Structure 1
């Protein structure tokens, strides 16, 4: 097929774990080619060769906006259109009445949706190399933190079953000092003769900077409910604790290393300085926002599109005269978590943010709802600063200035 014919073909790629189905159709919806590629180097090369035969820049639809194949397609100058899985799911009844599903049929569905409704989907623009690097670091750290939380909950559950005191002696059992304590004292038997002096030496060796004295920590340990497990069960549980600690310690160290690297990395790009200029944004939170926001301004030409992507606005349904508002589940969950984190932190340092949060609570909103309302308000400011490429300036924030004026008046 000639290069000039590339505008008359549409491709759909159904993403899977090991293999990906591809379907190519023409302007009438007729299938020109079907094939599968493996999720490896040879499969990716085969995909690029086949697409090159179709034309220099092929329009291709896919259900996800990121990943190795997506990056490769964008770098090869193809037109990539991500279509949300909910839109694909809702479109299946247009093509078949039964509930059966296959990768090949979904690949055709994606291609045909691009053919018939291409004006509805926005082409994916390539992010800069620095944004892609930052996104990889941030998402990897977030995934490791989720793993740490899950393992920490498992460890706490194990301790509460046979040694509750060890679960509450330090505020966070997955902190370096909490894990060091459990490594040294994995069971009540090993800590039976622990004295205040010994605990003081241990805290000093771990550079403990908490406000509680060794006497208070020891009281916490001894005042908790005693476990009822027998000697054999206690020894077995202690061995399990030691095993989980052995898994958690390097995990916590790698999270700390990634955190340090992210904090250094986010200071370099100009957009990083813009996001960090907001109250209590911090480096990690700013990096999380920037990693999902990116540096391609065309992705979010309007504030409403960014707010919907961040899940900061609800979904409105209306049937006749009966409207209803529901929580927005379909969104970029990483961006929503980062934006709400910034909003929650900012209300402690910014009067305008605190006033919006307090007003929402006064109307009867619970804490998560009030934080989302505040996040929506901050998104308006963030979008403007990001679009104009200027850091946040409280002196130009009209909402904050009006609040100060009303208080003074």
Structure 2
């Protein structure tokens, strides 16, 4: 018996609230489908349903597109139950959908296409291995990315608000979010706060904020630019000042959160076998992004070994049963 005849193939279309599964045999015949909620108590229901189509000697193989996101809980459950679970690249299932003469769009159809890819590429697909460490790294990377995007958005907002208060603000500092710059915006969010401030007083404040990198000359230049800009005070000035101070505080907090997240990444990454940071140009963030995408690289090697083992078995088939040529027609 050809080894693909020993399985039924379960393609699962994954969503946040529910999953849809379609079961097919080695001839691409649809045997059944089921929709379950995305919660552990419903996963046993899926396995029970699939078991109905597993006659003696037949075992199920599950194909999941997203074992790190919406499908992680299901993948963990199936692996814990010693089921065969494969990761199906979304590009492959997309190609399968597009290869059909008529385009359909439904959860059941998507699951059917995933099942077909699972059958056709059974030897190539890596085993699902939803280990907590790689999932955690992925979550930390996603969190850091979200904070960085928020910080970039804050900088754009600060540019906009400063243009109302200080028309020449870009000439004050090289970077509007440098240490000295943020300290200045926080204490002097608008020119009216500088009315009784002299160059020496401002210079002293900036020196403390910048670790003695700002000079009295810089303070004089800022005060001169403010004077040339003219009056910018308007109604509701207190609220407008509040916006700038609030943004500065948020930017500082975002930087601190980024540092904390990167420290967590370092701690978790230290528990993996990857040593990507030892390569030139790869820091902890880039390394973590790669590891989050790849996961456990050993699962790819297992898939390759399984494929080689099957080739060796087929080379030894002589007479009776299925020949190599006959077997190839099943795919």
Q: In structure 1, what is the Cα distance between the partners aligned to 2:230 and 2:73?
A: 54
Question: What does residue 135 of structure 2 align with?
Answer: 132
Deviations 1:79-107 (A, max 9, x none): 33333434333332444524x52223212
Q: What is the alpha-carbon root mean square deviation over aligned residues?
A: 3.7
Question: What does residue 198 of structure 1 align with?
Answer: 201
Q: In structure 1, what is the Cα distance between the partners aligned to 2:74 and 2:16?
A: 17
Question: What does residue 118 of structure 1 align with?
Answer: 121
Change in CA separation of 1:265 and 1:46 when aligned onto 2, cut-off 3 Å: closer
Question: What does residue 300 of structure 2 align with?
Answer: 299
Question: What does residue 73 of structure 1 align with?
Answer: 75
1:61–1:83 contact (8 Å) kept in structure 2: yes
Deviations 1:362-406 (A, max 9, x none): xxxxxxxxxxxxxxxxxxxxxxxxxxxxxxxxxxxxxxxxxxxxx
Aligned pairs for 1:233-382 within 5 A: 236-271=239-274, 274-299=275-300
Question: What does residue 43 of structure 2 align with?
Answer: 47
Tell me which of 216, 219, 244 is aligned to 2:218: 216
Q: TM-score, normalised by structure 2?
A: 0.69
Question: What does residue 157 of structure 1 align with?
Answer: 160
Which portions of structure 1, spanning 4 or more consecutive aligned residues, are displaced by more than 6 angstroms? none
1:141–1:258 contact (8 Å) kept in structure 2: yes
Deviations 1:342-378 (A, max 9, x none): xxxxxxxxxxxxxxxxxxxxxxxxxxxxxxxxxxxxx
Could you tell me how far 1:26 is from its partner in structure 2?
A: 3.0
Tell me which of 144, 148, 168 is aligned to 2:147: 144
Q: In structure 2, what is the Cα distance between the partners aligned to 1:123 and 1:229?
A: 63
Q: TM-score, normalised by structure 1?
A: 0.58
Q: In structure 2, what is the Cα distance between the partners aligned to 1:193 and 1:30?
A: 84
Question: What does residue 88 of structure 1 align with?
Answer: 93
Q: In structure 1, what is the Cα distance between the partners aligned to 2:108 and 2:220?
A: 63
Q: In structure 2, what is the Cα distance between the partners aligned to 1:196 and 1:280?
A: 43
Change in CA separation of 1:257 and 1:180 when aligned onto 2, cut-off 3 Å: farther
1:7–1:59 contact (8 Å) kept in structure 2: no
Could you tell me how far 1:123 is from its partner in structure 2?
A: 2.0
Q: In structure 2, what is the Cα distance between the partners aligned to 1:218 and 1:22?
A: 71
Tell me which of 64, 67, 83 is aligned to 2:66: 64
Could you tell me how far 1:122 is from its partner in structure 2?
A: 1.6
Which 5+ residue runs of structure 1 have no aligned equivalent?
302-409
Secondary structure of 1:66's counterpart equals coil
Q: Of the two, which has the highest radius of gyration?
A: 2
Question: What does residue 22 of structure 2 align with?
Answer: 23
Q: In structure 2, what is the Cα distance between the partners aligned to 1:216 and 1:34?
A: 72
